Amino acid sequence: MNQLAKIFTRAADGLDAPLVSIEVHISGGLPCFSIVGLPEGAVKESKDRVRSALMNSKYRFPTQRITVSLAPANLPKSGGRYDLGIALGLLMASGQLKSVKDINEFEFYGELGLDGAVRGTEGLLTALVQGFSSEHHLVIPETNIDESTLVNEASIYPCNHLLQICGFLSGAGEMKKLQIKEVSSNHTNFDFSQVKGQHQAKRAMEVAASGGHNLLLIGPPGAGKTMLSERLPSILPPLTKEQALERASIYSVAGQSVNVSELRIPPFRSPHHTCSAVALAGGGAIPKPGEISLAHEGVLFLDELPEFPRAALEVLRQPMENGVVHLSRAAKQVSFPANFQLIAAMNPCPCGYFGDGSQKCHCTEDQVSKYRSKISGPLLDRIDMVLELPPLPKELLLPSESGETLENSESIRARVLSAYNTQLERQGKANDRLLSDEVDKLLQLDSDDRRLLEMMIEKLSLSARAYYRTIKVARTIADLDKSAKIQRAHLIEAVGYHRFNY
């Protein structure tokens, strides 16, 4: 006896899902079951799960020499997703399963229980996307149906047991093709109408949302820094289908669930200040996305910014410029997208009440200087806008006697969308992503405005990066005003967001 079978599946390699051929060979000799092709622990244990699953499904387990090759051999394989493919390969190689369908047009995914049940596997979405691109039929566990929402044009067959799949392939049974209806929602429980006062901060949020700019809020406790930041996603432009798919793929690789009805809403990630550099950037023996990648195409909110470890904050510098994070480990190098919008908040001093006029602050000048110096100059140089929030007046906390209705997120979002669409029509991307030569082409100044800008650069000692970021903010303000040219008022407002001096 010398029989061979081949089954297709896909591995997980960051956000890539390379095709894997499961080749099963049964030959004469002493009983032996070996798996080759760089399998890690969970894959090596597959032979025990497959043996029990076959026997409990009333199939005969071959007692010859069994060799399972996971090709390509130089690609590390991890997880239980290969169980189903190995089991089907054994049945076909031993002659117990004769498929009436072209097995080469299918890809199989799923971990097997000892009773033959097909269990879910994490990080499957990237495989489904690339399997759909290859025009393959995809057999997946029923528990992974939610991940298929954005791949609604793919030919997907959900299953729950090995016998169900064998009946389908042999023609003795049927499996229903999954019919997916994409459900999307832009609804969020946070709205800017819930924020009282802080009109300048709301304006800064609107500017930041329109151009994708990074923002640092500084103010005493209770000024509304966190409340404002949590409401930023409610005015951001919705994600496109491609962006939503990439976001869902990142969550899938990270092993985290995402509400399929909220995939078009930009993500909002708010890690605690005890977060490590690895948790923020990503990593591990098998590198997984960190917080900055989970915030891709959305908001990364860092509250109590100076309390974060210095090493954790410094890992933000390169992704803030390039929109991608490169993770290098001894055995593997992986890149994850990290095009996030940084919104940070901090107190003006360790006690939080410096400069609010309440005489509560007892911090010394050295304590204030040490507290602020926890944020490095290079990181601060990458933040486009800095805004100081005053304490909220007590009278604003009481219900308004006039019954005045505050502006809600929907009306602000309409202006943001208008400015954002203007940027897409003009340059195909948000202002924050403009390169320096692209900024120069957009900047048309007369002699008076040029002298004003030169004076501001000299007085504020702006670096080249800070200068270009200021111009980008001014361009966004001009877009909100529906102005084709950057006016003096736009420059003055943009420079005003750099007045906080370390």
Segment 180-238, tens digit of pLDDT: 665 555 567 788 888 888 889 999 999 999 999 999 999 888 888 999 999 999 999 99
Does the CA dihedral 342-334-135-87 come out positive or negative?
Answer: negative
For residue 313, the surrounding DSSP H or E stretch is helix 310-314
What gap in Å lies between CA 147 and CA 259, rounded to an integer? 10
Nearest alpha-carbon partner for 332 in 69, 81, 126, 74: 74
Q: Which residues contact 491 (CB under 8 A, 6 or more apart)?
A: 449, 452, 453, 456, 470, 474
Nearest alpha-carbon partner for 70 in 52, 46, 91, 53: 46
How high is the pLDDT of residue 465? 87
For domain 192-395+406-424, the CATH class is: alpha beta
380 alpha-carbon distance from chain centroid = 23
How high is the pLDDT of residue 178? 87
What gap in Å lies between CA 409 and CA 482, rounded to an integer? 20
| Residues facing 218 on adjacent strands | 346, 388
Burial string for 450-484 (b: 16+ CB within 10 Å, else e) reads: eebbeebbeeeebeeebbbbbbbbbbbbbbbeeee
The answer to whether the beta carbons of residues 485 and 224 sit under 8 Å apart is: no
Q: How many helices (H) and strands (E) does the chain have?
A: 19, 18
Nearest alpha-carbon partner for 70 in 55, 51, 89, 48: 89
CATH for 2-170 (3.30.230.10, 3.30.2350.10, 3.10.20.30, 3.40.50.2000): 3.30.230.10
Which regions in the chain score pLDDT beneath 70? 1-2, 180-187, 331, 356-359, 395-405, 499-502
Where on the phi/psi map is residue 40: left (φ > 0), alpha (ψ -120 to 50), or beta? Answer: beta
SS3 of residue 352 by DSSP: coil
What CA–CA distances, in Å, run from 495 to 383, 455, 463?
13, 11, 13
> Quick count: other Cβ atoms within 10 Å of Cβ 337?
21
227 alpha-carbon distance from chain centroid = 22
SS3 of residue 359 by DSSP: coil
SS3 of residue 22 by DSSP: strand
How high is the pLDDT of residue 329? 77
DSSP for 71-95, written as a single string? ESTTS-B-SSTTHHHHHHHHHHHTT
Beta strands in 307-455 (DSSP E): 324-328, 333-337, 341-346, 385-388
How high is the pLDDT of residue 181? 64
Amino acid, single-letter form, for residue 134:
S
What gap in Å lies between CA 131 and CA 291, rounded to an integer? 27
What gap in Å lies between CA 281 and CA 328, rounded to an integer? 11
What gap in Å lies between CA 114 and CA 161, rounded to an integer? 11
For residue 280, the surrounding DSSP H or E stretch is helix 277-281
Token pair listed for 210: 């329109």
Q: Where do the domains of the chain lie? A: 2-170, 192-395+406-424, 434-502
How high is the pLDDT of residue 39? 93
